[in-house]
Amino acid sequence: MHHHHHRLRSLPDRWFTADKPFKHVVLKMQLPDQTLTLKDQPPRPFGGPSADLTAQLSNELLLRILAAVPDPLRLPASLVCKRWFRLVGRLRRSLTVLDWSFLDRRRLFLRFPELTDLDLVPASFAVPSAQALSGSRVVLTKGPVSVSVDTHADLPIGECRFLEQDVLDRGLATIARDCHGLQKLSLVAAASEAGLTAIAGACDVLQELELHGCSDLTLRPISAFKNLQILRLVGSVEGLYRGPGVTDIGLTILAHGCKRLVKLELGGCEGSYDGISAIGRCCVMLEELTISHHRMDAGWTAALCFCGNLKTLKMHSCRTIDSDPGPLEHLGTCPTIETLQIQQCQLRDKKSLQALFMVCESVRDVKFENCWGLDNDMFSLANACRRVKSISLEGCSLLTTEGFESVVLSWINLQRLVVVSCNNVKDDEVSPALSNLFSVLKVFKWRPDSKSVLATSLAGTGMGEKGSRFFKRV
């Protein structure tokens, strides 16, 4: 053990930094190179000065010991010897692959035989040729995905290509043969129907699936996933790739093929009233629906009333809610919706936001986060929801104290209030009625601006009074 410790001190410090945990990422792992650098030492007498004290322990016992090691320290522990390297690999359950070649020669299974969560999306993008990457290398990062781009191409942004279909199919065949215990899988839909069907047949405990680059045709084998409960469909990602898109046809195929869905996210998808209503009628167990970056046709909001068991509705990064929800008097309601979250959306159309609140009139928990256009008039539409118990506002800079107060005081059941980074909500404009409400709330978080944070931190110190002539409020 002393000899191994001496060898490992020469490795880069970044492998051993506790505040930078291993992010479940494989960066072109070359297993032969790693294993050959840690040569097994000749056996020494037990109890000697450099003896391996763990050699007498069984694999099962040593696994229990390594399982108690914190995640950031397991990587350096795996570098002690080849035995520890193999055992730490058996403990890993979640992995993101960045290089598709890692699936060759069954290296994934040999290194991590007990995986339950596998993300193949970052590795599914084609790398430009060496000639295209000559000179400076440009890496495009979009969320968790980083892709090398060809700077000499006419449209380097938004036109990243996936690997060829036969390459993807070979990798999926390897996973179908070796990774039967997968419960969550993220991949691109550019593989053939046979590749997806092979995964569905072999990974019969798979419950969560994320598909990128979806089209209507790629959803045909979706019914083969018998135990699927959580599904995320991404038709396109702006700034990364442009997919053919999912229309009402694909949503109808999905509705009839995945009737046991509990959670569904539609990202960058098209569709309209017909597709959403089909999902509502067929997926009777659906409890959570997320709509992000949508390109849906007008009128889709009215179809939410067919989701008879829907409890949570999330809108994320949408440029509009519904371009034309139709006559408000013809809208139905979804009385089961308890949570409404709107994040990073543009709320400039009063009629569409009003329609959304009418459909969600029984909501209990409302959250607005970094939404553009949410001023006093738009926020006043929330008065249609009379049963609100929790409200969270973050990054709503157009909302003033007066507009905030007029709505909040109308919610007689309010128990939880969070206000963060709403710069036009001022401490000195809070009325006595609003102060009384604050005192009876069960959960109260109040940081509308940086001055409020400062006032709270200086409370009772007298610093604000002593320095008033130097630090005047403007």
3-state SS, the chain, equals CHHHHHHHCCCCHHHCCCCCCCCCEECCCCHHHHHHCCCCCCCCCCCCCCCCCCCCCCHHHHHHHHHCCCHHHHHHHHCCCHHHHHHHHHHCCEEEECCHHHHHHHHHHHHCCCCCEEECCHHHECCCCCCCCCCCCEEEEECCEEEEECCCCCCCCCCCCECCHHHHHHHHHHHHHHCCCCCEEEEECCCCHHHHHHHHHHCCCCCEEEEECCECHHHHHHHHCCCCCEEEEECCECCCECCCECCHHHHHHHHHHCCCCCEEEEECCCCCHHHHHHHHHHCCCCCEEEEECCCCCCCHHHHHHHCCCCCEEEEECCCCCCCCCCCHHHCCCCCCCCEEEEECCECCCHHHHHHHHHHCCCCCEEEEECCECCCHHHHHHHHHCCCCCEEEEECCCCCCHHHHHHHHCCCCCCCEEEEECCCCCCHHHCCHHHHHHHHHCCEEEEECCHHHHHHHHCCCCCHHHHCCCCCCCC
Predicted confidence (pLDDT) at residue 156 exceeds the cutoff of 70: no
Nearest residue to 346 (alpha-carbon basis) of 375, 315, 318, 379: 318
DSSP-assigned beta bridge partners for residue 146? 141
Radius of gyration of the chain (CA): 27
Q: What is the pLDDT of residues 93-103, one digit of tens each?
A: 999 998 999 99
User: Measured between alpha carbons, how far is residue 311 from residues 65, 158, 258, 286 in Å?
Assistant: 42, 35, 18, 8
- Residue-level pLDDT at 30: 38
Question: Averaged over 325-331, what is the pLDDT?
Answer: 87
Rounded Cα gap, residues 361 and 337, in angstroms: 8
- Residue-level pLDDT at 392: 97
Q: What percent of the chain has pLDDT over 90?
A: 56
Is the CB of residue 301 less than 8 Å from the CB of residue 324?
no
Predicted confidence (pLDDT) at residue 35 exceeds the cutoff of 70: no
Is the CB of residue 446 less than 8 Å from the CB of residue 438?
yes
Rounded Cα gap, residues 247 and 278, in angstroms: 12
* Residue positions counted in the chain: 474
Could you tell me the two tokens for 364? 């209990």
- Residue-level pLDDT at 154: 55
Q: What is the mean pLDDT of the chain?
A: 82
Could you tell me the two tokens for 404? 């905030």
Predicted confidence (pLDDT) at residue 345 exceeds the cutoff of 50: yes
Nearest residue to 403 (alpha-carbon basis) of 345, 448, 361, 452: 448
- Residue-level pLDDT at 272: 93
Q: What is the pLDDT of residues 6-16, one digit of tens each?
A: 444 443 433 33
Q: Is 7 exposed, middle or buried (0-12, 13-18, 19+ CB in 10 A)?
A: middle
Please, which pLDDT band fits residue 91 given cuts at 50, 70 and 90? confident
Higher-confidence residue of 345 and 148: namely 345
- Residue-level pLDDT at 55: 80
Q: Does this model's pTM top 0.75?
A: yes
Predicted confidence (pLDDT) at residue 136 exceeds the cutoff of 60: no
Predicted confidence (pLDDT) at residue 415 exceeds the cutoff of 70: yes
Rounded Cα gap, residues 255 and 450, in angstroms: 47
Give the amino acid at 159. Answer: E
- Name the residue with tokens 């090398």: 148
Is the CB of residue 253 less than 8 Å from the CB of residue 222?
yes
- Residue-level pLDDT at 191: 84
Rounded Cα gap, residues 224 and 193, in angstroms: 11
Nearest residue to 243 (alpha-carbon basis) of 121, 160, 139: 160
Could you tell me the two tokens for 199? 């995964």
Nearest residue to 200 (alpha-carbon basis) of 221, 225, 175: 225
Nearest residue to 340 (alpha-carbon basis) of 388, 398, 412, 411: 388
Predicted confidence (pLDDT) at residue 153 exceeds the cutoff of 70: no
Q: What is the pLDDT of residues 353-407, one digit of tens each?
A: 999 999 999 999 999 999 999 999 999 999 999 999 999 999 999 999 999 999 9
Predicted confidence (pLDDT) at residue 61 exceeds the cutoff of 80: yes
Question: Averaged over 136-153, what is the pLDDT?
Answer: 65
Higher-confidence residue of 18 and 454: namely 454
**Quick one: three-class SS letters along 108-134?**
HHHHCCCCCEEECCHHHECCCCCCCCC
Predicted confidence (pLDDT) at residue 126 exceeds the cutoff of 60: yes
Rounded Cα gap, residues 369 and 420, in angstroms: 9
- Name the residue with tokens 């010897």: 81
Q: What is the pLDDT of residues 426-446, one digit of tens each?
A: 988 999 999 999 999 999 999
Higher-confidence residue of 66 and 276: namely 276
Backbone phi, then psi, for 292, in 5-degree steps? -135, 140
Q: What is the pLDDT of residues 157-181, one digit of tens each?
A: 556 788 999 999 999 999 999 999 9
